[in-house]
Amino acid sequence: MADNYLDLVNTSLPGRIAKALGLPRPSVLRRYTPGEALAEMPVLVTGSGAGADALADQLLGWDIEVRRHVLPGEKLSAAIVVLDRAAAPADLAAPMLELGQAVKLLVPGGRVVGIFRSPAETADPAEAAARQGVDGALRSVAHELRGGATANGIILRGAATTTDPTTLGALRFFLSGRSAYVDGQFLDVAVAPAESVAEFAAATTAEGEGVPDRPLAGRTAVVTGAARGIGAKIAEVLARDGARVVAVDVPAAGEQLAQVANRAGGTALQVDITEPEAAARILEHVGQRYGVLDIVVHNAGITRDKLLANMDAARWDSVIAVNIASQLRMNEQILASPVFSATGRIISLASTSGIAGNRGQSNYAASKAGVIGMVRAQGAAFDGSARTINAVAPGFIETDMTAKIPPLRRQVARRLSSLQQGGLPVDVAETIAFLASDAAAGINGQVVRVCGQNLVGA
Ligand code: NAD
């Protein structure tokens, strides 16, 4: 469903009228195209200390023009504020105020990225206050930015540094058009096991080379619910990034599924994921054709909305069966199989409804909050191995699912995010492709919202 209002306010006269009336003026977002430069204009790295210095050096190695202070009037592609040494709230003032000068100079689609240490990993109240303070300040900056610009954070865990491969991977994700609809979000980054980052590190240290445009080359990925909507886009983006894709959906969607698989240059497999033997059939298909399964994207999902007072068992049970019970059963079988790679990735679709709740969606929210619980527990079980599991929680995404919302409510829902628009399936797909790549090797057990910093609920 096209967002006609967004198209309209991005033309001259209607745009001026919307401004005069104080109406929302969503910008056309900067989305990723392979081969794009990470930053066309200089990037500010503010903050002092070895971590900030090392990061600035790294960016120079990526052929980015780096500034350590704002130059009056000079436009910036991004501003990175490094606060890894913040020990008390007073330490935030100078870098945050400099950031305040920088945001005025950001180009449309500009980026703010904060890098700081985890508030959960210090016992010192002043240090915890400083670290948590960065979180609050960055979320507020995200609310304030306009012109399709976003603000996000990277939280260093344990011994992670500003230049660890996963820190740099997360930074590249936030700087690039891949994260167009990710706003006001924080990625916890830990030191990743050596075997899963070797390829990425080699690619990024080669002078000026950056990561390859096909970061998933040679990987085999299964995407459930791939016949349409977000799942079809995930299949397409994973294939663009080099993966061999197995597209899975119910037999009734067979024709559409075959088209998606063809476009992705992969194979189609008609399986209802609620069947007890679903995982066995997928593992057999992948094992025979490709030998190894690297990436599993649990995307298939349904809604059967009703107020709880009017809910019947059929609606409740079907949503739980598709959205969470099948994932739990499949993961058990996939993890027990020798076909699943030792550096395997699992990415599950949650929803902002599973974080904030949503009227008429108690069954759906139970299933999607269930996904988040599952990912946390399984992520903890993966600690110390090279496997990861993460969830992606979309907000309002323009698909058949949201086209069913009555027109007025749909218009309101679109504007209720910091980016004042719905996301596109490709925005969810790009985040999943990032989490599936070596660049995200140190990101595990987390939930990444792709919601444009939705203002409702959490
Ligand atoms: P969609 O309804 O357009 O597509 C879902 C696909 O899953 C369909 O092709 C369907 O046939 C398939 N599917 C359903 N049950 C299945 C089963 N038992 N076995 C195999 N395949 C099955 O939905 P979408 O909007 O593309 O959403 C994709 C995922 O993203 C879902 O998990 C959804 O809950 C989640 N999500 C979507 C939004 C949004 O705004 N669209 C927001 C938050 C979360």
Residue of 3, 181, 249 with the most ligand 1 atoms within 8 Å of its CB, for mutation: 249
Nearest 5°: the CA angle 159, 164, 168 is 135
Atom of ligand 1 nearest to the CA of 423: 40
Cα atoms found within 13 Å of the Cα of residue 121, Cβ hemisphere only: 13
CA of 302 to the centre of ligand 1 (A): 5
pLDDT of residue 204: 47
Distance 232 CA to ligand 1 centre (A): 10
Q: Does 326 score more than 50 pLDDT?
A: yes
257 residue type, one letter: L
Please, which residues bridge with residue 392 across strands?
349, 448
- Split at pLDDT 50, 70, 90, the class of 99 is very high
Q: Ligand 1 centroid vs 252 CA: distance in angstroms?
A: 14
Does residue 300's CB lie within 6 angstroms of at least one atom of ligand 1? Answer: yes
Query: What pairing do the DSSP bridges indicate for beta strands 340-349 and 388-394?
Result: parallel
Q: Classify each residue of 40-49 as buried b or exposed e, where b means 16 or more C-beta atoms within 10 Å of its C-beta.
A: ebbbbbbbee
Residue 323 tokens read as 């959205």
In tens, the pLDDT along 145-178 reads: 999 999 999 999 999 999 999 999 999 999 999 9
Q: What is the pLDDT of residues 272-325, one digit of tens each?
A: 999 999 999 999 999 999 999 999 999 999 999 999 999 999 999 999 999 999
The share of the chain scoring above pLDDT 90, in percent, equals 83
pLDDT at 206: 44
Query: How far, in Å, CA of 294 to CA of 297, rounded?
Result: 10
Contact predicate 207/441, CB 8 Å: no
Atom in ligand 1 nearest the alpha carbon of residue 401: 25
**Residue 195 has what pLDDT?**
72
Atom of ligand 1 nearest to the CA of 257: 9
Residues 444, 447, 453, CA angle at the centre, nearest 5°? 140
What is the pLDDT, as a whole number, of residue 208?
38
- pLDDT confidence of residue 457: 54
Q: Are 75 and 105 a contacting pair, CB within 8 Å?
A: yes
Model confidence pTM above 0.90? yes
- Cα 364 from Cα 350, distance rounded (Å): 10
Provide CB contacts within 8 A for 430, sequence distance 6+.
Answer: 31, 32, 177, 178, 179, 180, 237
Task: Express each pLDDT in 21-43 by its tens digit.
Answer: 777 888 889 999 998 899 999 99
250 lines ligand 1 (CB under 6 A): yes
More confident residue, 19 or 83: 83
CA 399 to ligand 1 center in whole angstroms: 9
- Closest residue by Cα to atom 1, ligand 1, is 229
Q: What is the pLDDT of residues 205-232, one digit of tens each?
A: 443 344 568 999 999 999 999 999 999 9
Q: What's the mean pLDDT in 372-389?
A: 97
Q: How far is the CA of 411 from the centre of ligand 1 (A)?
A: 21
Q: Ligand 1 within 6 A of 394 CB?
A: yes
Q: What is the structure's pLDDT at 456?
A: 64
Please report which confidence band the pLDDT of residue 67 belongs to, taking 50, 70 and 90 as the band edges. Answer: very high
In order, the DSSP letters of 80-135 are EEE-TT--SGGGGHHHHHHHHHHHTTEEEEEEEEEEEE-GGG---HHHHHHHHHHH
5 labelled catalytic: no
Residue-averaged pLDDT of the chain: 93
CA-proximal residue: ligand 1, atom 8 (nearest): 225
Distance CA 42, CA 50 (A): 21
